Structures are given as C-alpha cells and as structure tokens.
Amino acid sequence: MIKAIRLMAQIAVYGGFAALIGYFSDSPAYTNFAGDKAVIVLSFAHGAEHKGECQKLSREELQKLAPNMRKPTSCPRERLPVVVKLDLDGTEIFHAALAPTGLAGDGPSRAYQRFVVPAGRHTVVARLRDTKRKSGFDYSTTKTIELRPSQSLAVDFRADVGGFIFE
C-alpha cells in the first residue's frame, strides 16, 4: 500500500515536472510587435571617400622606401564619415554622421536602425553624403510606399547600383 502511494506520488512529481517543462517551453505567448505597425530598417555598410588626397612621392622619398614598397603615390587610409538622413512624411527620423570602422578609420561606415511606424502610405526620403562636400548630399531617393501591417521594409544603400534600395 505504501509502495503504491509512493509510486503515485512519484508519478505526480514527474507529471508536475513535465507540466513545468511543457508549459514554459512555449507559453505564455509573447507579443513582440503590435499588428497595426510596420518597420522600416535602414541598414548599410558603405565606405566614404578617403579624408586626404593622394600625394605623388618624390624620387628621394621613394629611395627611402624598401624596393617592394615603392608605390609612386601615398594615399591616407582614413575615410570620411558617411552622413545619412532619413525623412518620413516630411519629418526627419534619422540624421547622423557615421564614423568609419576599423582601428585606422579606414573601414566602411555602418548603419542599422529600426523604425516602427504606423502601417499605411508614407513618403520616405533617404539622403547620403560620402564625399568632402560641406553641404547637400551625393545620393537622394524619394519613395512613396504602402506599408502593410507587420511589414518590414529594408532601406539599403549600394553605391554600385546607384544608391538607395527599398525592398
């Protein structure tokens, strides 16, 4: 009798353990995102122009270098920051000068920003400057988009295809 009670109690303990694991393995449900919203993700990795100009080395300067290092020009490695600006329906939602990556500041500038916006029609203006110009932008794209609820819109930038890509 005691053995039977003990067995029943063991089954109850195992059952409780199973219930604990079974429940918390997928419950309670978590609402990550309101269904009536959408997301715009601005992300790119792009290197701006180098900060300084390349300089032609004189014969004397070249002679001082090891034979295998004698390139006729010397170019500074450091890049300019990439300036990016994103407007949504006429309102600026992001504006930053993104420093180049790398210890020597010679890597690409990188961006990854998420913006939660109401679903519906929006006008997005994306601008980017990657040269030494003091004002204005080198790239600018204006796009009117219809965002469905829960849609994720990626705003990428690739100079080789002409600028901003909306996908």
Nearest CA-CA partner of 54 in 36, 78, 30: 78
Q: Does 158 bind other proteins (CB under 8 A)?
A: no
Q: Does 3 bind other proteins (CB under 8 A)?
A: no
How many residues touch other proteins (CB under 8 A)? 43
DSSP state at residue 100: B
Find the part of the chain contacting other proteins (CB under 8 A) among 15-23, 67-75, 78-86, 88-96: 15-23
Residue found by looking up tokens 């170019």 in the block: 75
Q: Does 156 bind other proteins (CB under 8 A)?
A: yes
Complex with other proteins: residue 57 or 99, whichever CB lies closer: 99
Q: Locate 104 and state its tokens.
A: 């020597």
Task: Provide, rounded to whole angstroms, the least separation between the CB of residue 102 and other proteins.
Answer: 8
Q: Does 74 bind other proteins (CB under 8 A)?
A: no
Half-sphere exposure at residue 53, Cβ-oriented, CA atoms within 13 angstroms:
3
Q: Footprint of other proteins on residues 105-144 (CB under 8 A)? A: 107-108, 110-112, 114
Q: Does 41 bind other proteins (CB under 8 A)?
A: yes
Query: Which residues have a Cβ under 8 Å from the Cβ of 60 and sit 6 or more positions away?
Result: none
* Contact assessment for residue 45 and residue 158, using Cβ atoms and an 8 Å cutoff: no
Task: Provide, rounded to whole angstroms, the least separation between the CB of residue 100 and other proteins.
Answer: 10
Find the part of the chain contacting other proteins (CB under 8 A) among 42-50, 57-65, 71-79, 89-97: 42-50
Output the CA–CA distances (angstroms, integers) from residue 41 to 33, 80, 86, 100, 150, in the order listed.
Answer: 15, 23, 11, 20, 13
